[in-house]
Structure 1
């Protein structure tokens, strides 16, 4: 999962990107355990996108996917973990992942295009 701390307070600081460390293997291989992700606070998520989300009071880092029938789910990239079907659940997007850092190798995620870019 993720570390529990999020930026606190009010004002523009809540709208600034922040970093979290990935804990666990749920999003491997794209996001290995221990890598750093940069999250841009946002309440919307493109389809598909990597998001930081709160579902029924629990925070998750997953890939958001909406299928052709409009069903929404959260997907762990590691097949050992089940999808989370969002039908009928209370959930809200806390932000989208815009960057990851794995051993100083940085990848940026731009959801206007379909593929991540390495920097």
Structure 2
């Protein structure tokens, strides 16, 4: 993101449009548009001062944008996947609301539940039955959602918690997976190391589930955190 893109997005976020902003600060719309297209460094200082004053920033902040914290955050954010970008956005929105004392009341959302997965002794998933339930938390990008039964994945996943899943058979070491293990569905941590491949519970009172020729295994997907 360069300073002109930053300036345009700041204008639109605060005033809705560049034209309306130009009217509010008393600068011709064509002048503001020209600054955004041709570059801040080519603009008259008096116009830059008026624009910055209207936006509540200083000319120094605009000219030094490449070294600003916003620019640095953006350089990292564009390299994140979509789920992590959403987390950055959610945190930024939270900080903005706190700064401006905006109270965001929870809204009831609905989630389609595709069944239950065990955090303990095994569940059957995929009988075709789906149920719509209310959900008050943030909903990440996902392919399906399930309910956890049991305590073997506590404290990360609690009993009766709704978790969201992205369909994939490509699993990396350490990821939480929804797996069909000997024809029953589990949520477990996939591990591969010198001790072999296995499904691991976070609650140590449950034994690891070895992945070998003695057991049938298929992966429904990975949990979206």
- Answer whether TM exceeds 0.5 for this pair: yes
Greater relative CO (CA pairs within 8 A, separation 6+) = 1
Matched, 1:52 2:178: yes
Structure 2 unmatched runs, 5+: 1-117, 129-141
Identify which of 123, 142, 161 aligns with 1:35: 161
Structure 1 position 6, deviation (Å): 3.5
How does the TM-score come out when normalised to structure 2?
0.37
Runs (4+) off by over 3 Å:
2-8
Structure 1 unmatched runs, 5+: 9-15, 99-107, 109-119
> Take 1:32 and 1:40, find their aligned partners in 2: how far apart are those partners?
19
How does the TM-score come out when normalised to structure 1?
0.68
* CA shift digits 1:5-36 (9 cap, x unpaired): 5485xxxxxxx611111111010011011211
Give the total of aligned pairs.
91
The structure with more radius of gyration? 2
Structure 1 position 68, deviation (Å): 3.5
Q: Residues 60 and 47 from structure 1, CA distance in 2 versus in 1: closer, same or farther, beyond 3 angstroms?
A: same
Contact 2:124 2:183 survives alignment (8 Å): no
Q: CA RMSD in A?
A: 2.0
